[in-house]
Amino acid sequence: MRMDTVIMGGGLSALTCGIALAKRGQRVAIVASGQSTLLFNGGSMELLGCVDGKAVTSPLEAIAALPAEHPYSKLGADRISELASEAHSLLTDAGIVMEGKADANHWRITPIGVAKPAWLTLSSHFSIDSLGELPCKRLALMCIRGFFDQPNGMLAEGLKGLGFEVDKLEFTTDEITALRRSPSEMRANSLAKRLVSNASLQRVADEINRLAADADMVLFPSVLADEDVIQTLKSMVKKPLRLVATLPPAVSGNRMQALLRHYFRMLGGNYLMGDTVVSGTLEGDRLTSVTTAKLGDMPLRADNFVLATGSFVSKGLVADYGRVYEPILDLDVDADADREQWTRFGVLEPQAYSRYGVKTDAGLHCLKQGKPIQNLRAIGSVLSGHDAIKMGDGTGVSLLTALAAAQSILATK
């Protein structure tokens, strides 16, 4: 099978790159072995949230001071603003409507009630422009009885710590109660399937209107399947209503992944779900084909290839007892040689492994034994030099490196 570009990986970076290429008429195949870390996403994208332990207010200013090995520095600080605006438009075109600016972070609220700097947040979700100026005073936090994925106590305490008055209001309806046939069914995604019809939404709205009459704003867990359902519930509730992120797997991340995949396919892209790239053939400084587990002796050939296989959690990087490696082509990896350095004891300690990744040149070409592979670029969280957990730059790096790689591929034609 011959393509213009083959992308290995099926998450945010792969889909963004695939969409940008397919939009310009390329024949693109994405090979995705499984779901992606987008499923952890509670409804926000981060460009740069934290540098040297301090919250970033203006990502564009802070990016200019990042070290040379950070992917943003490789793209060039002066391109970030343009790429960020292109990324925002691409998400909108895919049906993911988000608000925010690259030159001023706002604050998203995590499922456990912590305010974190964010670049873009789904417009239906609760966020705060400035911690000094709260959008309202009195919040009604709607708590679905028996729902597992929202730690209401922590969320309420976190919001109170920001200065809100919070009423925790527990409720249920017959449809929701029926979900409790087994304890594992009261999850965000199962509620999303149940709360769809106008009748079931009206019963939820009646409960909200009954309980939250004194609130300035109603916060509802992000368990609504799509924008139409969200708008329907909003129209039935008498107070302004915003969604709050739940623990993963998140309905919002699931929806973003589905919308991006749908858009990619609408543009003519081939999404090979459930297949894994296992090896590739190098000829000189070029990759000529990759082999997948299912296609076996029918390799995928292309002019260009993109590695978007993610970090350890997605198996884009692997650690065995002795080393950290990239499993498809054994590309050069930036990681400490001494395994004692990989991790530190303590969940909240900074972990060295979270910045490990494949090495690239300034054009994002992967390196093997120090030499760039001219038609293989790496994007997203498989890249070294950034740290989604410590720096809050994961989704930004995925989106922006994906667009930069697509531009660079299109420029080779």
List residues near ligand FAD by CB under 6 A. Answer: 8-14, 31-34, 36-38, 40, 45-46, 276-277, 308-310, 313-316, 328, 380-381, 388, 394-395, 398
Measured from the CB atom, the residue of 220 and 305 that comes closer to ligand FAD is 305
CB neighbour list of residue 199: distance below 8 Å, 6 or more residues apart: none
CB 241, min distance to ligand FAD, A:
23
Torsion of CA 393, 379, 413, 369, to 10 degrees: 130
Measured from the CB atom, the residue of 357 and 372 that comes closer to ligand FAD is 357
Side chain identity at 194, as an amino acid letter?
R
CB 13, min distance to ligand FAD, A:
4
Q: What is the bridge-based pairing of β-strands 28-32 and 98-99?
A: unpaired
CB 311, min distance to ligand FAD, A:
6
Residue with tokens 């030499």: 371
CB 125, min distance to ligand FAD, A:
13
Encoded tokens for 189 = 């995604």
- C-alpha distances (whole Å) from 353 to each of 49, 317, 372, 393 are 19, 10, 23, 15
* Three-state secondary-structure class, residue 138: strand
Measured from the CB atom, the residue of 40 and 137 that comes closer to ligand FAD is 40
Measured from the CB atom, the residue of 200 and 279 that comes closer to ligand FAD is 279
> Which H helix or E strand runs over 121?
strand 120-122
Measured from the CB atom, the residue of 179 and 287 that comes closer to ligand FAD is 287
The Cα 264–Cα 272 span in angstroms is: 12
User: Which one, of 64, 15, 86, 53, lies nearest residue 257 by Cα?
Assistant: 15
Taken in order 259, 260, 261, 267, the sign of the CA dihedral is: positive
The Cα 376–Cα 69 span in angstroms is: 19
Measured from the CB atom, the residue of 73 and 401 that comes closer to ligand FAD is 401
CB 167, min distance to ligand FAD, A:
27
CB neighbour list of residue 251: distance below 8 Å, 6 or more residues apart: 188, 189, 192, 222, 223, 224, 225
Contact 38, 261 (CB under 8 A): no
The Cα 274–Cα 295 span in angstroms is: 11
The Cα 204–Cα 189 span in angstroms is: 17
CB 23, min distance to ligand FAD, A:
18
Measured from the CB atom, the residue of 194 and 315 that comes closer to ligand FAD is 315
The Cα 360–Cα 364 span in angstroms is: 5
> Which H helix or E strand runs over 63?
helix 59-63
Measured from the CB atom, the residue of 236 and 278 that comes closer to ligand FAD is 278
Measured from the CB atom, the residue of 73 and 398 that comes closer to ligand FAD is 398
CB 330, min distance to ligand FAD, A:
13
Measured from the CB atom, the residue of 17 and 223 that comes closer to ligand FAD is 17
Side chain identity at 68, as an amino acid letter?
A
CB 381, min distance to ligand FAD, A:
4
Residue with tokens 């040149």: 361
The Cα 382–Cα 317 span in angstroms is: 7
CB 235, min distance to ligand FAD, A:
30
Measured from the CB atom, the residue of 13 and 152 that comes closer to ligand FAD is 13
The Cα 208–Cα 110 span in angstroms is: 22
CB 277, min distance to ligand FAD, A:
4
CB 367, min distance to ligand FAD, A:
18
* Three-state secondary-structure class, residue 368: strand
